[in-house]
Structures are given as structure tokens and as C-alpha cells.
A = this chain, B = another copy of it.
């Protein structure tokens, strides 16, 4: 009986390892998508942007197969509560990764449009810096997941506040550019969409880090779960300019 139990535990562990390897691979593709889409934006590299757009299909397919594999493992191995929690967290994480992939694809699409327009000084460099921060956060969140490193996960969540701050600064900058010269409006709207997309990527990375904390400690981190879009009540935006 003890032997049988051991055998069952091992089979589940092997399955789980497979799933975890898959989520890391998916994470790697998503990190590259963030990196390449931001780079294509700054360097106006339409070919690279096209690669990101096409590459998103592979990310979507990985989410599908991860979900199928996770459901198969649950049905087949019937894991105990704590093991079940790990498998369910992987399903949630893959959904977050898939969304980050989508947001990168959307950024890459705007590269193609923005490449035709007058550049707004320095803005794509600032966006790329913001994207790099999110990329590093994702890398650390995945490391924290593998090591069940709660401290690192909390660090990732704290860094998301900086990304939010960058977004708010850029939002105000774009508004200023639009007010200065209405010919900037179209490109600033696109740039603003990109900034918002990167900010949302940060939220998805935060959600992944929260899963890590939940797995490591069994507790949901308080007060970080519901993300706020600060522009919705920013006093600087409530003045009738």
C-alpha cells in the first residue's frame, strides 16, 4: 500500500514537472514577445513586429495544451487539495501569460501604424524602458514560482507600482503633446494605447506573483489584488483644461 501510494505520488509529480516545464517555456516566449514588440516600436522595425504578431499563435496554442494537460492530470491523478492548488494555479498563470502575449501582439501591430507617422520625441524609448521593467518582473515572477520564493514575488508586486507611475507620467505627457499640437493627436492616441497595454501587462505579472505567494504561504496578499487605473480619478485630469 505504501509502495502503491509512493508510485501514485511519483506519477503526479512527474506530470506536474511536465506542466511546470511547459509554463516556463510559455513564459520564455512571452518574455521574448514583450522584448521584441517594444524593440520593434523603438527601432521602427516592421519585420520584427510582424514576427511578434505571427508568434502569438504559438503562445495561444501553449495555453490550450497546458489547460488540457492540467485537466487531464486532475482527472487522472485526482490530486489532494494542496496538489490540486498547484495545478489550478498553473491554469491561472497560463491565462495571464496568454493575455500578456495578446497585449504584446497589439503593441507590435501599432508599430506598423506608428512607423508611418512623425515620431513624438523620446516617447518610444520611454515605452521600451517601461516594457523592459515588465519583462524583468515577469522573469522574476517565473523564477519565484519555480523556487516558491515568496520574498521575490512580493518584490515583483512592489515594482508594479513603478510601472503604474511610469504610465501615469506618460499619460500626462501625451496629453500635453496633444494640447500643444493637434496634429499629434492620432499618434499620441496610439502611444497612449501602448502605454496602457504595458501597464496592463504589469497587472498580469502581478497576478502571477500573487499566485506564487498563494502557493508559498497559502494566503492571498492583502490589498494588492484589485488593481487600480489611477487615471480614472486623477485630479490632474479632472481639471477642465
Contacts and interface: CB of A to CB of B under 8 A. Distances in A.
Given A95-B95, A240-B117, A232 B178 contact: no
State the number of copies, please. 2
A109 interface: yes
Interface residues of A, number: 51
Interface in A209-241: 220, 225-227, 229, 231-234, 237-241
Given A238-B113, A240-B116, A88 B106 contact: no
Interface of A: 56, 60, 64, 71, 74-75, 78-81, 84-85, 88, 91-92, 95, 102, 106, 109-110, 112-113, 116-118, 175, 178-179, 182-183, 185-187, 189-190, 192-193, 220, 225-227, 229, 231-234, 237-241
A175 B183 contact: no
Contacts of A225: 60
Main secondary structure of the interface of A (DSSP, over half): helix
A78 to B, nearest CB: 4
B106 A229 contact: yes
Given A75-B80, A78-B78, A179-B182, A106 B240 contact: no
B179 A175 contact: no
